[in-house]
Amino acid sequence: MKVPPGHNPELIIRIVLITRHAEIRCAFQCFKCEIFYERWMRLAQEVCSMKIRFPYGKSFVIADIPDKNLISPPEPKPLRSVDDPHEAVEHALDHPVSKESLDKIAGQTSKVCLVISDITRPIPNKTILPPIIKRLKTAGVSADNLVLAVGSGSHRPQSSDELAEMLGQEILGKFKVVAHNCVEKEKMVDIGKTSQGTHVALNKVVADADIRVLTGLIEPHNLSGFSGGRKSILPGVSSIETITENHSSDKLDNPKCVAGVLEGNLIHEDMEEAAKMVGVDFILNIVSNFDGNIAKVVCGDLVKAHREGVSCCYDASKVVVPEPADTVIVASGYPWDQNLYMTINGPNRIVHSPKPVLRKGGTIIVVAECSEGVGKAHAPFYELLTKSSSIDDVLAKTCNPDFFIKDKWEAHLWARILERYEVVVVTGGITANELKKAFMRRASSLDEAVEYALDKHGPDAKILSLQNAIKVIPMLA
């Protein structure tokens, strides 16, 4: 290709790369070479790309995605960090929603159980717990009458190092801390049945308390609409049998049991009913922004305070996607990508969405470090996947109410994802063979995964990136 005499070809290319459409045509007119417009435009589209950073464990990986392939939905409404987190917690405790203040609820003889989340939830316990404990002390609650229960649901119990990281040595040294283990039947107490038929059994330490205080994080949740509130009880401190009944396949497949939906959500309603049966006296929940900072603190009534936090969270989570994608890249980083079990939160956000954004037969690229591999404490779900002959075989087992394994619902959710989409996992923590046996594909780098998806779906395929998948509710316009 010839460039008119006296004109610098490098300069023309620079103009093409930094301008768009009408501006490009104008640039070519200025250089008397409009006849090359279409050819240069194709070159610009091939060369122009967007470098996007995705969380990977506690670090990041970068993808180089061509502009022409990238879907760019409007950014969700940003949540501003509170100026002073400690002051925000104190203010919320001073102004509880539809409840008396905590120091008036508890008394000198009260046995108090403070339920906290496990290490899979990034909650600033060292910020929110001291003010709560201070007010309980003001009410006359002694250190001997206060126990902290780690609501780990079906996750593995925390190690002593993890507890120290979560709580600090001062709290660990002063108060009894109980790490809930959902499979220890001898430590559970039967409470009754919900209207949906779920047998509610929970940790005896929680059941025996006079006062129950729950802490937690409110963010979109794939099954229960939003986390926080009642989830500290179910699944937080419930038995594996209770959790399994709440996570039954008929509920998992219900179109209302998706991220961002509470009304008509059977899983959420069952959880909330169970929490009311147990009796919850006070909650303190936070809403965090994309930077992980506290944006809002809500305190008080189990339902009303939770809904106030949900209202704030929903506006900051909704992402309206203008067109369906052929490929979606999802990432959430630590602590959500510690193992394959936790990693499901990203791809599940695509399936359990009010209006799914990925075409059937599309590809989900999951960016996850998986430093713990599959997740030793969650081996049963992986074994179910790998020992089944097909996805239909997995679903036949998980849909059978008489079939029971720990984390049965996890295998069901992965099977529902895999029957619709191909899953490519970008990880250094799981081998290609381990993923292949679970009907998934491994990529050693994100660029490799993107290249594979473009080869599969074509050079014009549309790619949606969700760098904070755990924080958003993607839905088709």
Q: What confidence tens digit (pLDDT) does each residue in 193-211 have?
A: 999 999 999 999 999 999 9
Read off the pLDDT of residues 41-51 as tens digits, 9 standing for 90 and up. Answer: 455 444 466 78
SS (H, E, C) 317-340: CEEEECCCEEEEEEECCCCCCCCH
Mean pLDDT of 91-113: 94
Query: The domain 49-76+319-476 belongs to what CATH superfamily?
Result: LarA, C-terminal domain (3.90.226.30)
- Chain position carrying tokens 């403070």: 114
pLDDT tier at 387 (50, 70, 90 boundaries)?
A: very high
DSSP string, 376-401: GGGHHHHHHHHTSSSHHHHHHHHT-T
Residue 28 has pLDDT above 70, yes or no: no
- CB of 211 within 8 A of CB of 205? no
Question: Rounded mean pLDDT of the chain?
Answer: 90
With a pLDDT cut of 90, the percent of the chain lying above it is 77
Do the beta carbons of residue 215 and residue 128 sit within 8 Å?
yes
Query: Which pair of structure tokens corresponds to residue 135?
Result: 């007010």
Q: How many CB atoms sit inside 10 A of residue 77's CB?
A: 11
Confidence of residue 33 (pLDDT cuts 50, 70, 90): low
| Res 119: pLDDT | 86
User: Domain residues of the chain, as ranges?
Assistant: 9-45, 49-76+319-476, 85-314
Q: Which residues of 259-283 are buried (b: 16+ CB within 10 A; e: fewer)?
A: bbbbeebbbbbbbbbbbebbebbbb
Q: Tokens 């713990």 appear where? A: 372
pLDDT for 311 equals 95
pLDDT computed for residue 378 by the predictor: 86
The predicted model gives 161-181 an average pLDDT of 92
Euclidean distance between the first and the last CA atom of the chain, given in angstroms as a whole number: 43
Encoded amino acid at 89, one letter: V
User: How far is the C-alpha of 276 from the C-alpha of 374, rounded, in Å?
Assistant: 35
Cβ within 8 Å of residue 14, ≥6 positions away: none
Higher-pLDDT residue of 429, 157: 429
Dihedral angle sign, alpha carbons of residues 252, 258, 259, 264: negative
Amino acid at 128: I
d(CA 354, CA 247): 19
| CA–CA distance, 153 with 157 (Å, rounded to integer) | 9
Cis amide bond preceding 235, omega within 30: yes
Do 201 and 188 meet the contact criterion of CB atoms below 8 Å apart?
A: yes
Count of alpha carbons within 13 angstroms of residue 460, beta-carbon side: 1
Percentage of the chain modeled with pLDDT above 70: 90
Task: Decide: 203 and 153 in contact? Cβ < 8 Å.
Answer: no
Q: Please give the average per-residue pLDDT across 396-401, as a whole number.
A: 95
Residues 282-292 have a mean pLDDT of: 95
Compute CA 363 distance to the chain's CA centroid, rounded to the nearest angstrom.
19
Q: Where are the alpha helices (DSSP H) in 403-465?
A: 408-418, 432-437, 446-457
Pick 15 or 340 by higher pLDDT. 340
Which residue is listed with tokens 């993607």? 474
Bridging pattern class, strands 176-179 and 146-151: parallel
Q: Span 72-101, mean pLDDT?
A: 92
Find the range with the poorest average confidence among 4-13, 114-123, 145-154, 273-282.
4-13
**How far lies 429's CA from each of 142, 148, 241, in Å?**
45, 33, 30
Please tell me which residue, 76 or 320, carries the higher pLDDT value: 320
Which amino acid does the sequence have at 469? A
How far apart (Å, rounded) are the C-alpha atoms in residues 227 and 265?
A: 13
pLDDT above 60: residue 301: yes
Q: How far apart are CA 199 and CA 193, in angstroms?
A: 5
In this prediction, residues 347-368 reach a mean pLDDT of 93
Instruction: Please compute Rg for the chain using Cα positions.
Output: 25
Distance CA 106, CA 140 (A): 8
Query: Residue 19: what pLDDT?
Result: 41
Instruction: Count other C-beta atoms under 10 Å from residue 256's C-beta.
Output: 16
**Three-state DSSP class for residue 199:** strand
- Yes or no: domain 85-314 corresponds to CATH 1.25.40.10: no
Q: Is 322 left (phi over 0), alpha (psi -120 to 50) or beta?
A: alpha
Q: Rounded to two decimals, what is the model's pTM?
A: 0.86
Summarised one tens digit per residue, pLDDT across range 239-261 is 999 999 999 999 999 999 999 99
Give the pLDDT of residue 351: 87
